[in-house]
Amino acid sequence: MTKIKICGLTRPQDIQYVNEARPDFAGFVIDFPKSHRSVTPARAHELSLRLSRTVTPVGVFVDSAVDTVADLFFTGAIRVAQLHGDEDEAYIAALRRAAPGLTVWKAFQVASPADVAAAERSTADAVVLDSGQGTGRRFDWALLAGVKRPYVLAGGLTPENLPEALARLRPWAVDLSSGVETDKDKDRAKILAAVAAARKDGET
């Protein structure tokens, strides 16, 4: 069954929606002011305490200090670090040394076969194939035809196009944020619909 992540939680009611829908992962964008979904490490920790134990908390980072990521892991605020900046293999290695047991996902902006090849070479535990940093746009899925490793599909996913993505690509996981929002706030009905679509796919 394809796993599903709901990203960009900022409010207590967002946590309520996620706890009701029960996706596999829930994401917090940490200290990235360009995003309206950005929260401080302290806020992420506070919100994660409200999260159901069945939902794995993910911290989304853009070129953050290794210690910042490690501290959130050790306090229990996150169990997965999703890296969306220029973090290289040396950074991933340093993060593994600083936070043993932390699961590391590395995001790649996919615009060409070379981008897919770079993702396949990554030593991260999983790769996120995306159109950009929270742009909410879908990239050319045809580029993923030859991908050999499991991946997280992101970028422009909505409850409406999720069934097509699952049937066509069979990703290991999907990551939704803007696609489950209304007026830049998380929408309960859309979150429930997205998770239901992912679960329905697993039953077919």
Active-site residue list:
7, 130
Question: Cβ of 36: how many Cβ atoms within 10 Å?
Answer: 13
The pair of structure tokens assigned to 18 is: 């996620």
Q: Could you tell me which of 68, 55, 70 has the C-alpha nearest to residue 7? A: 55
As beta bridge partners, residue 28 has 59
Cα dihedral 144→86→107→15 (10° resolution): -160
Whose tokens are 């200290």? That residue is 31
Torsion angle in degrees (nearest 10) through CA of 118, 121, 122, 128? 60
Rounded to whole angstroms, how far apart are CA atoms 193 and 195? 6
